[in-house]
Chains A and B, each alone.
Chain A
Amino acid sequence: MSLDTEQKNRRLVIKLILIAVLMFGFGYALVPLYDVLCDITGQNIKLQQSATDPVHEFVVDEKREVTVEFITAVNEKTPMEFQAETRTLKVHPGQYYTVNFKAKNLLKTPIKAQAIPSISPGLAESFFKKVQCFCFETQLFEAKQEKVMPVRFVVDPKLPEQYKIITLSYTFFDRTNIIEN
């Protein structure tokens, strides 16, 4: 191989390695990019972790009934019991409702836990407005403590007709380690 080719090879290899390194960075750049895109499309519930402000008065649609289901779960190895006091509720769009959730720390030490909500069908999500929710912040549970926590919500009367049932699901995650580190 001539010297010339060797030099050309070296230059090309450096460029190609640079592309590979940049693409490794691009993989990480997708993380904030994803949040931005979710924000634009309004898809991802993790960005709607705060109350609908300010409390809006809707016209209550007495004629229409939507069933709201409440599902609870705890993530793997999270030492808690977690239930909804109401399993299903028939609601009129525009009317405010409060439902209570009960959670208990099973450990003899305090834990910090975060509830992550999910709404199905996803396209109904933007019509489901919460003014108060225990999921807005990390909850501290003292040893063996049981808490009753409310969620206050309203279904926007603009909810398209085809949605008859909305399922609201909460999963509790143990964040004690993440917060302390």
Chain B
Amino acid sequence: MASVVAEHDDHHDHHDHGPEKGLLRWIITTNHKDIGTLYLLFALVMFFVGGTMALIIRSELFEPGLQFVDPQFFNSMTTMHALVMVFGAVMPAFVGLANWMIPMMIGAPDMALPRMNNMSFWMLVAGVLLLAATLFMEGGAPAGGWTLYPPLVLQTGKALPFAIFSVHMLGVSSIMGAINVIATIFNMRAPGMTLMKMPLFVWTWLITAFLLIAIMPVFAGAVTMLLTDRFFDTSFFNAAGGGDPVLYQHIFWFFGHPEVYVMILPTFGVASTIIPVFARKPLFGYASMVYATAAIAFLSFIVWAHHMFTVGLPIAGELYFMYATMLIAIPTGVKVFNWTATMWKGAMTFETPMLFSIAFVVLFTMGGFTGLMMSVAPVDFQYHDTYFIVAHFHYTLVPASVFILMASGYYWLPKWTGNMYNEKIGRLHFWLSAVSVNILFFPQHFLGLAGMPRRIPDYAIQFADWNMVSSIGAFMYGFSQLLFVWIVIDTIKGGVGKATDEVWEDASKHGLEWTVPSPAPYHTFTTPPEIIPTEHL
């Protein structure tokens, strides 16, 4: 990375204005920090909305038999939980981080397209509200799974067109966000901030943004085909008219597989940012990290049918998608080894962001290994659509993406608010999360291997014990997250005292954001900082 010699200049000559007063500030703001905050808070709220849905699912599955909800509503919950978590929580949270941090990390005064930035946030809110509104419509919310497979999803009641328009809006919002990120990174870097000096968080977001631009339109196309099949008598997926429902699965997963990397690549970026600071060493293998990210992004486009091994692919197709999928383990392995090597013989300390990051490396690797198991086409027939796949992708999303989002919260909150968070409560939050997330998801591996299918409200009694354990873990995990809300509020109100500008020991060697005062002023780097290479590059 690079460090800065010029002092941050607070007293510039521009006709600068601070934030607007009152509520209107948040509606019309074009400031990257304001919009970042909006995104992050919105994602936090959605995390609890989606989490409540998950707890409804886990309550129903606590015991065999039907207890609380009817099966239709249960299916709506699995569908909506996924859509809310993916499009309402994880993706917006990373967009929020991008807004806050990318300009500060590359020495830019703001995002390249500030007004579009505002628009993409409010479009996201509108899209998510529209999606939430389907819960109250005749026939209920979509209940065919987040993948929206036809013909099942076409049986949705009045909610179908609303769900589809909501997906369109979320897509447009993501594409605008991605365009903004690319324009900012390409055109707004401070002089001297070459591409290969950019922090890895910026790199991973640049690649993610390209993924988003490539895939969100494809998804928009797929749901538009669903819409015309249902209302305008087209037959893209309708066998009677010469269409084929399997075609939808191909189009969906052409979007869907890169989409899961949209949620994990920025995670890798944050982990690569945090681990070196607390290991007090430069990141091991910076260039290989960049190339590995690009390799993963490229591979994500050519492996989609590994989600469809049981659909009746030709044997050559099964073999190709099996081997191509296995290839992903190589760049991912490069990353895991690099993080480990970064910590090797480092002077490590274990503040909350580091704890979450280390847990991420360990638990993400486990999620990666189960993914490798499922890449083997012949054995995937056993795992397909069971709780094994549920355990797999939750390991790659919760103790990976969500843990890293928590880590970034702890890592940058002092910079955002100017106050230090309560380290004791932070560590308590970490340990409760790390223990309960394993109680929650680990038993689901056993359930899946024993044959329990996903997306069912009731199950055979031999699955009872592990389901009960998993549900207990779910409630522990869910309620532990309230500690994070408490910490965010407490830190905004003052926390345990003022944070220094650098916050973490020697952090300014690792990123430009630590060279500006805490809290970060409303406008930073209105004059570009001077970038000088540090010794380790």
Show the binding face of A for B, using Cβ within 8 Å. 1, 5, 8-9, 12-13, 16-17, 19-28, 30-31, 34, 41-44, 46, 75-76, 114, 116, 122-123, 171, 173-175, 177-178, 181
Contacts and interface: CB of A to CB of B under 8 A. Distances in A.
B220 A27 contact: yes
Given A26-B218, A41-B316, 13 more contacts: A1-B112, A5-B188, A12-B186, A13-B113, A16-B183, A20-B216, A21-B217, A23-B213, A24-B217, A34-B250, A46-B242, A123-B315, A181-B233
A16 B250 CA distance: 24
B264 interface: no
Contact of B239 (A13, A19, A30, A116): A116
B254 interface: yes
Interface string B212-254: 0111111111100100000001011011111010110011001
Nearest to B110: A1
Contacts of A22: 217
Given A12-B183, A178-B235, A24 B240 contact: no
A159 to B, nearest CB: 16
B220 A30 contact: no
A163 to B, nearest CB: 14
B182 A46 contact: no
Contacts, number: 104
Contacts of B312: 43, 122
Given A41-B316, A181-B233, A20 B182 contact: no
A175 B241 contact: yes
Nearest to A34: B247
Given A1-B109, A5-B188, A20-B216, A27 B251 contact: yes
Interface of B: 109, 112-113, 151, 155, 175, 178-179, 182-183, 186-188, 213-222, 225, 233, 235-236, 238-242, 244, 246-247, 250-251, 254, 312-317
A157 to B, nearest CB: 22
B247 A12 contact: no
B113 A9 contact: yes
A12 B235 contact: no
A23 B241 contact: no
A162 B57 CA distance: 42
B251 A30 contact: yes
A46 B240 contact: no
Contacts of B178: 16
Taking each of A27, A28, A171, which has the highest tally of chain B beta carbons within 10 Å of its own beta carbon? Answer: A27
Contacts of B186: 8, 12
B254 A178 contact: no
A178 B213 CA distance: 35
Given A20-B216, A75-B240, A13 B183 contact: yes
Contacts of A30: 218, 247, 250-251, 254
Taking each of B113, B240, B244, which has the highest tally of chain A beta carbons within 10 Å of its own beta carbon? Answer: B240
A20 B175 contact: yes
A1 B188 CA distance: 9
Contact of A171 (B214, B239, B313): B239
A17 B239 CA distance: 34
Nearest to A49: B242
A64 B1 CA distance: 72
B527 to A, nearest CB: 12
Taking each of B151, B225, B242, which has the highest tally of chain A beta carbons within 10 Å of its own beta carbon? Answer: B242
B187 A27 contact: no
Contacts of B214: 19, 23
B239 A24 contact: no
B217 A31 contact: no
A76 B251 contact: no
Contacts of A19: 213-214
Nearest to A8: B187
B49 to A, nearest CB: 28
13 contacts: A5-B187, A12-B186, A16-B182, A20-B179, A23-B215, A27-B217, A27-B218, A27-B219, A30-B247, A30-B254, A175-B240, A178-B235, A181-B233
B215 A12 contact: no
A26 B214 CA distance: 10
Contacts of A17: 179
A46 B244 contact: yes
A27 B244 contact: no
B11 to A, nearest CB: 20
Contacts of A44: 244, 246
A45 B186 CA distance: 48
Nearest to A4: B187
A171 B225 CA distance: 22
A12 B151 CA distance: 40
Contacts of B225: 28, 31
A24 B183 contact: no
Contacts of B313: 43
A128 to B, nearest CB: 14
Nearest to A122: B312
The 8 closest A-B pairs by CB, nearest first: A173-B240, A27-B221, A24-B217, A23-B217, A27-B218, A122-B312, A116-B239, A41-B314
